[in-house]
Amino acid sequence: MALSAEDIRTRRQQRLTDEVGGVSKTWQDQLKIALIYPNHYYHAMSNLGFQAVYHSIQQREDCLCERFFVPDRDELDYFSRSPLLSFETQHALQDFDVVLFSLSFENDYLNLPLIAEMTRTSLWRQQREDAEPLWIAGGICAMLNPEPVAEIMDVFAVGEAEVLLEPMIETLLDHHERDATLDALVRLPGFYVPDYYQPHYQADGTRNRVDVRQPAAQRVERRWLADLNDSDCQSFIQTEHTAFGTMHLHEVSRGCSRGCRFCATGFTYLPPREKDADILCAQILPDLSAQQTAGLVGAAVSDYSHLKQVSAAIQSQGGQVSVASLRIDSLTREDVAALRDGGQKTLALAPEAGSQRMRDLINKHLSEKQIFDAVALLAEEGILNLKLYFLIGLPDEQSEDIDDFIALIKTIRHVWVEGQKPFGRLGTITISVNPFIPKPATPFQWCPMDTLASLKKKVALLRKAINRLANVQLQVESLRGAELQALLAVGDRQVGRMLPLLAEGSNLKAACRAMNVDLQQLVHTPREQGTLLPWEVINTGVEKDYLWNDYQRALLGKLTPPCHRACTRCGVCRTVKEEHS
């Protein structure tokens, strides 16, 4: 049911009132920055990066930052008639000097036409007037492949906010005309200004070259924070209206050394970095009250070398510890006991693949025995529910791999039941299955996505087997949604022109036909080694030859050892060493 204007104002005011720890400012003569996470408040305020950027801007005396959120579903009718205004003081988007977007998920691109419509602004950068605010995007999508929204955004900040935010704001303060600002930003390392880059295409629609206008760099280098101790990334604002409720989240590490070949986060945030225990405790403990939960966040939390020390410090102050998921091969009984005592009834593990052949192919470094031992440990320590994450449709996956997957689930259930017997109850085992989606900047960026027909057959086999198992439930991501995400992940500016059609509800195939986009070629066909990939305008620091060679190792079933800060094989740390030599 649609809400009235009064209902919406009341809901907004309640959310604003319930926020704890935010910084409020009066509307004055400052650089006015609108911050947009293209999703609902519930999801936006669960994002640590979004919160950290908001907090950092609000600490400056020369800046004012206010937030915009995509309306809830029952608010859409109202905002189709009245403009969407800022969360804090209900100002129009045109009242701001710049708009910052945090792009974390490709499917959130579909909300960009909606935001433009509801804020009464032009979606396409070429149609925006000089007096309108600049649109600047950051987040992992800006680092992976900005091209699908390159005709929407004026600028992309490529890298981590701790390094990019200050020079960007100083530039915005120094320049007030659109062209002068863009010319200044394009000269800074880490800023991609798409107007300076013109792609060209062959008759079949494939990209064959990009003309780069001076003074832009041929490739934009990702910028990253060398010492994570210099970051204070946490949930500065706490509110019950988020996925994590009033849990206080703290980043403990960034990047991952494991080298899982499908994982964009693992490769894009290299090198792996972590905070010193003393610094992390100094950030957590002063504001931690008894019975409050501290959520520890990172790509590999159970790999964090100071996890026991930090967990003990939190517990000694009467607090509780929570983590999103645990590494199977670094799990300890002490870790599990601490989480159980902190009230966690469900823990998640990520075997990622159901057969040993597929786990080797993705470089997971996991055996069946390690998986079974981890499941047994969780059960024996009294964890009530278990969640397991898997991918299907991986490169070269065969029917035998699905058979092994089903056998693995059956054995996991048996191990779980045996471990739970002493407690006289049996919780739920949730099998979360997602289709593999090839992502830029990974060894699998050349891979095709499995076809929907093939994926449907695999899901049907899994459902038939798993539905027979008591206390085991199967969750499968939408296959069509995954196909759309794949297109947005590997597409370019031609794909981006489809966004208004998709946002209006057109199905993917119809939108592709209307815009002359070859879905089969882009998503379901392998890419050749020499293909000019749309995202090559971004240099993440990981060398293309390294990614290709690791892809070939995958096809041979060869494992690649985890990286360490002393190695230089992928290129990220080699560049740093050369700069300091």
pLDDT by residue (tens digit) across 253-301?
A: 999 999 999 999 999 999 999 999 999 999 999 988 887 889 999 987 8
* DSSP character string of 349-418: EEEE-SSHHHHHHTT----HHHHHHHHHHHHHTT--EEEEEEEES-TT--HHHHHHHHHHHHHHHHHHHH
Q: Is the dihedral of CA 376, 381, 387, 389 positive or negative?
A: negative
Q: Give residue-wise pLDDT tens across range 169-180.
A: 999 999 989 999
Q: When comparing pLDDT for 41 and 191, which is higher?
A: 191
Band of the pLDDT at 239, cuts 50, 70, 90?
Answer: confident
Give strand pairing partners of 28. none
Residue 301 amino acid letter: V
Rounded Cα gap, residues 89 and 555, in angstroms: 55
Rounded Cα gap, residues 486 and 384, in angstroms: 35
- Tokens of residue 147, six digits: 């091209």
Cβ burial of 556 (10 Å; 0-12, 13-18, 19+) is exposed
Rounded Cα gap, residues 357 and 394, in angstroms: 11
Residue 411 scores a pLDDT above 90:
yes
Rounded Cα gap, residues 142 and 157, in angstroms: 7
Rounded Cα gap, residues 493 and 506, in angstroms: 18
- Tokens of residue 37, six digits: 């996470």
376-393 average pLDDT score: 96
Rounded Cα gap, residues 538 and 313, in angstroms: 41
How much is the pLDDT for 309? 93
Q: Give residue-wise pLDDT tens across range 483-540.
A: 999 999 999 999 999 999 999 999 999 999 999 999 999 999 999 999 999 999 999 9
Q: Please, what is the end-to-end C-alpha distance for the chain in angstroms?
A: 64
Band of the pLDDT at 422, cuts 50, 70, 90?
Answer: very high
Band of the pLDDT at 480, cuts 50, 70, 90?
Answer: very high
Rounded Cα gap, residues 195 and 468, in angstroms: 56
Contact 323, 332 (CB under 8 A): no
Q: Give residue-wise pLDDT tens across range 425-457.
A: 889 999 999 999 999 999 999 999 999 999 999
Residue 344 amino acid letter: Q
β-strand 429-435 against 385-392: which pairing, if any?
parallel
Band of the pLDDT at 576, cuts 50, 70, 90?
Answer: low
